């Protein structure tokens, strides 16, 4: 083994620190040095692709991808580079298929037969299916529609029938009035249902387009609970409480939500539950190693006996980092060494 890894970043975007890199990148690089490894950081550009493949394949045991897909012009071209690298024996942290499996919004549908996600959670990949089924689900109660792309609440809509009587046997009427609140900024818009569904076509069309449809969980006002994971270890918990305004339901960064940083020990029930479910999650999502850095977000619900129940709202893994608690870099470096060593020895065996 070369004991050398290469971090991939991209120039620009609002996720950078004063050094132009993700705030936790240099701390991780330094933590790797402290355990006898070396690392370099490279800015990816489409133009440098060929040269990068040769350099990384020759010099590094692994790449660590630290790029928000929103900051790339052509994500599939970048993924293609990552695939070429793993084909040449470079350990991928993460591989594109792992990013897609853990990070895409339809992860919720894959996990709906576990107790972590309500069984009435759906994904639509075409307009026909969306038009046929969404009105039926909406007729039964308030829903949240989630687009796959974008982050920080863009294209995440809470949808509510203004008048519960505007339904027939096919569900809510296309002419029914709906109140739609976007998680980006908790702004409320009034639409006719048919009009709103046509507006949503933008989320369904194109590569990786989809809409996930899940029930609205009113206890979101108590907060969303994010577990930050370094591989198989929960390392901290962020409690995100939506703004106090009447329609606010968003826990995203720019919506006015308040963030509080806790430890896993502050959330024993949730952490125990999640750890118990991890083997099952790994199996359902394709039997990959758990990602290097990833998150799982939970919202409280109440079960039929009146007890608290934690519901998974989303997972992220393609560009998760930390901007506080930079000492976590030591844990990340240890996890990198563990994952790279394990995968390299598998290759040699
Ligand atoms: N089923 C639900 N019930 C109530 N509120 C929800 C539900 N799903 C999502 N939300 C709210 O909407 C917000 C945005 O949704 P979500 O986290 O799925 O999207 P996102 O845009 O990917 O956000 P992020 O920037 O965290 O990746 C959540 O933080 C939460 O406050
Ligand atoms: Mg979220």
Candidate from 106, 156, 212, 309 with most ligand 1 atoms within 8 A of CB, to mutate? 156
Q: How confident is the model at residue 324 (pLDDT cuts 50, 70, 90)?
A: confident
Q: How far is the CA of 194 from the centre of ligand 2 (A)?
A: 27
- Interval 139-176: pLDDT, tens: 999 999 999 976 789 999 999 999 999 999 999 999 99
Q: Which domains does the chain have, with CATH numbers?
A: 4-94+325-348 (3.40.50.2300), 102-117+219-316 (3.30.470.20), 122-216 (no CATH)
25, pLDDT greater than 80: yes
What pLDDT shows up at residue 253? 83
Q: What is the mean pLDDT of the segment spanning 60-65?
A: 98
Higher pLDDT, 151 or 17: 17
Q: How far is the CA of 279 from the centre of ligand 2 (A)?
A: 23
349, pLDDT greater than 80: no
Contact 255, 184 (CB under 8 A): yes
- Rg from Cα positions in the chain: 21
CB of 153 closer than 6 angstroms to any ligand 1 atom: yes
Of ligand 1's listed atoms, the one at least distance from the Cα of 297 is 17
Q: How confident is the model at residue 69 (pLDDT cuts 50, 70, 90)?
A: confident
What pLDDT shows up at residue 345? 87
User: DSSP states of 135-184 as a string?
Assistant: HHHHHHS-EEEEESS--TTTTEEEEEESSTT-EETTEE-TTSEEEEEETT
- Interval 297-313: pLDDT, tens: 999 999 999 999 999 99
The C-alpha atoms of residue 182 and residue 122 are separated, in whole angstroms, by 19
CB of 259 closer than 6 angstroms to any ligand 1 atom: no
- Interval 228-270: pLDDT, tens: 999 999 999 999 999 999 899 999 988 999 999 999 999 999 9
Element (H, E) at 47: none
Helix (H, G, I), strand (E, B) or coil at 250: coil
């Amino acid at each position: 083994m070369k004991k050398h890894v290469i971090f991939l970043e991209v120039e620009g975007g609002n996720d950078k620190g004063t050094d132009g890199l993700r705030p936790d990148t240099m701390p991780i690089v330094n933590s790797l040095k402290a355990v006898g490894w070396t690392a370099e950081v490279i800015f990816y550009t489409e133009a440098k692709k060929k040269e990068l493949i040769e350099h990384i394949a020759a010099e590094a045991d692994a790449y660590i991808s630290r790029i928000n897909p929103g900051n790339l012009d052509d994500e599939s071209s970048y993924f293609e580079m990552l695939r070429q690298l793993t084909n040449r024996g470079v350990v991928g942290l993460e591989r594109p298929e792992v990013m897609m499996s853990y990070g895409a919004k339809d992860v919720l549908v894959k996990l709906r037969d576990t107790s972590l996600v309500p069984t009435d959670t759906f994904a639509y990949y075409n307009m026909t299916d969306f038009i046929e089924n969404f009105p039926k689900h909406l007729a039964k109660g308030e829903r949240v529609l989630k687009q796959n792309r974008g982050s920080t609440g863009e294209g995440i809509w809470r949808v509510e029938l203004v008048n519960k009587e505007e339904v027939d046997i096919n569900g809510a009427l296309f002419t029914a009035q709906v109140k739609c609140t976007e998680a980006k900024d908790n702004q409320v818009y009034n639409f006719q249902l048919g009009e709103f569904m046509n507006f949503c076509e933008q989320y369904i069309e194109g590569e990786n387009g989809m809409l996930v449809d899940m029930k609205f969980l009113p206890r979101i006002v108590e907060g969303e609970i994010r577990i930050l994971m370094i591989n198989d270890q929960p390392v901290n918990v962020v409690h995100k409480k939506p703004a106090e305004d009447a329609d606010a339901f968003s826990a995203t960064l720019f919506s006015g939500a308040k963030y509080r940083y806790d430890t896993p020990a502050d959330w024993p029930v949730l952490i125990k539950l999640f750890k118990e479910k991890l083997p099952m999650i790994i199996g359902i999502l394709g039997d990959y190693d758990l990602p290097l850095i990833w998150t799982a977000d939970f919202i409280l619900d109440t079960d039929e006996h009146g007890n608290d129940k934690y519901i998974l709202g989303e997972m992220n893994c393609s560009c998760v980092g930390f901007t506080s608690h930079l000492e976590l870099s030591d844990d990340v470096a240890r996890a990198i060494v563990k994952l790279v060593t394990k995968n390299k020895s598998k290759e040699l065996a």
